[in-house]
Amino acid sequence: IEDVITGWDGSLVATRYDRETGAFFVVAIHSRERGPAAGGTRVKQYDSYADAVTDATRLAGAMTLKMAAADLPMGGGKAVIALPAPRRELADDHWRRILELHAENLKTLGGSYWTGPDLGTSSADMDVVCGFGAPAFGRSEAAGGSGSSAPATALGVHVAIVASAAEVGIDDLAGCRIAVQGLGAVGMEVVELARKDGAHLIVTDIDPVLCERAAALGAEVVPPDAILGVESDVFSPCAVGGVIDVDVARTIRTRAVVGSANNVLTDTAAGDELARRGIVLAPDFVASGGGAIHLIGREVLGWTAEEVATHVEGIADTLREVFVRSRVGGISHDHAARDLADERLGRAGSRV
């Protein structure tokens, strides 16, 4: 944890352990250069509280890059709630109390961090957090919010898949082999969109019910530990991060990596190895920007659904710029995207 603390370049981490609920809360504010920090609330069990802090800080840093790459007037932040038991085992009033405490923590931060849905949280949860007076994007439409960010995230991933496939010479997704890891709200929608284009889908999830649903859509299902060994044209990680380390980068049989999972690479060496092998990488903070574009577009900038869709389609232009910078500079796609985000970071655009 010392390395995480001293190695982090963000601005603030707040933590709280609550004995009564057994929940551990972390809010990490990485940057407010472009506007108030924003990023979702991730809820799951962690092996240790140090892991929870590590996850929150890394994810907050990724949000800063995501906002800058999408040219949105927000900074980067993230919240993590480490649960004492799996979410489905928590009684409703226990979960509600956890959300109430979370809202209390967020209110203490006085608007410098805005939360939203993420892995393990929904629009309904945002309704509750907001009901307790904390700033939250992605409430249900009935409660005055813009609803789930998942469909826009999936659309952005789809746009990124098309642009990345074109970069490796595939101009049509018909017959293209796409391996999708994770069939949550985003992954399942990525499957549906690619299926409409006639792609051949190979999918996996730890939840057999979700696998059955994808199989009914015509996808080939493989066990979770087999997906990294599948031969594909596009590998789409849509579950947790950290799936590509140097070893995986050296052995994975794919031509492009494009997904919604945040922090897919364990380190820059993994990105360099993909580049060395000529595998296209759509950097996650670019490819997964659709959700942020939807939430901030609708709720801060007053965009219509059509304007959101246009901006989400702009992810393809950002990616093409990344590919060109990579070629010109002789640097990896990951490196090129970070440079681009850094430049946009300098161009602060606070309108809120």
b or e along 17-45 (b: 16 or more beta carbons within 10 Å of the residue's beta carbon)? ebeebebbbbbbbbbbbbbbbbbbbbbbe
Between the alpha carbon of residue 181 and those of residues 108, 232, 299, the distances in Å are 37, 12, 30
Burial of 222 (0-12, 13-18, 19+ CB in 10 A): middle
Nearer to ligand PHE, 133 or 229 (CB): 133
Q: Which is nearer to ligand PHE, 43 or 230 (CB)?
A: 43
**Residue with the two structure tokens 């927000």:** 74
* Site membership for ligand PHE, residue 40 (CB under 6 A): yes
The span of 32-40, 88-96, 272-280, 307-315 binding ligand PHE (CB under 6 A) equals 32-40
Give the strand pairing for 234-237 and 23-31: unpaired
Q: Annotated catalytic residue: which of 44, 66, 78, 107?
A: 78
User: Are the C-beta atoms of 77 and 37 separated by less than 8 Å?
Assistant: yes
Of 125-154, which residues contact ligand PHE (CB under 6 A)?
A: 137, 149
Task: Pick from 116, 120, 182, 283 the residue near ligand PHE by CB under 6 A.
Answer: 116
Q: Which of 10, 39, 76, 184 binds ligand PHE (CB under 6 A)?
A: 39
d(CA 14, CA 114): 14
Question: How many Å apart are CA 50 and CA 232, to the nearest integer?
Answer: 36
The residue range among 7-15, 114-122, 245-253, 344-352 that interacts with ligand PHE, by the rule CB under 6 A, is 114-122
Name the minimum Å distance from CB 264 to ligand PHE: 13
Which CB atom, from 219 or from 296, has the smaller least distance to ligand PHE? 296
Q: How many residues bind ligand PHE (CB under 6 A)?
A: 12
* Cα–Cα nearest to 262, from 68, 115, 58: 58
CB closer to ligand PHE out of 117 and 271: 117
Instruction: State in angstroms the smallest separation of the CB of 117 from ligand PHE.
Output: 6
Alpha-carbon span 262 to 127, nearest angstrom? 24
- The CB-of-225 to ligand PHE minimum distance in angstroms stands at 26
Residues 149-168 that bind ligand PHE (CB under 6 A): 149
Q: How far apart are CB 340 and ligand PHE at their closest, in Å?
A: 18
Concerning whether 78 is annotated as a catalytic residue, the answer is yes
Give the C-alpha separation, 126 to 142, whole Å.
12
- CB of 63: closest distance to ligand PHE in angstroms? 6
Based on the shown chain and the rule CB under 6 A, indicate whether residue 295 belongs to the binding site for ligand PHE.
yes
Given the complex with ligand PHE, which of 40 and 237 has the nearer CB atom? 40
Task: Find tokens 């629009």 and name the residue.
Answer: 123
Kindly indicate which of the ranges 285-293, 309-317, 331-339, 342-350 contains the residues binding ligand PHE, using the contact rule CB under 6 A: 285-293
Q: How far is the CB of 81 from ligand PHE (least distance, A)?
A: 14
Residue 40 vs 271, nearer CB to ligand PHE: 40
85 SS3 class: coil
User: What number of CA atoms fall less than 13 Å from residue 136's CA on the CB side?
Assistant: 38
Which of 234, 291, 299, 345: binder of ligand PHE (CB under 6 A)? 291
Structure tokens at 210: 């979700």
Residue-by-residue DSSP string for 120-162: T--HHHHHHHHHTT--BS---GGGTS---SHHHHHHHHHHHHH
Name the site residues for ligand PHE (rule: CB under 6 A). 38-40, 116-118, 137, 149, 288, 291-292, 295
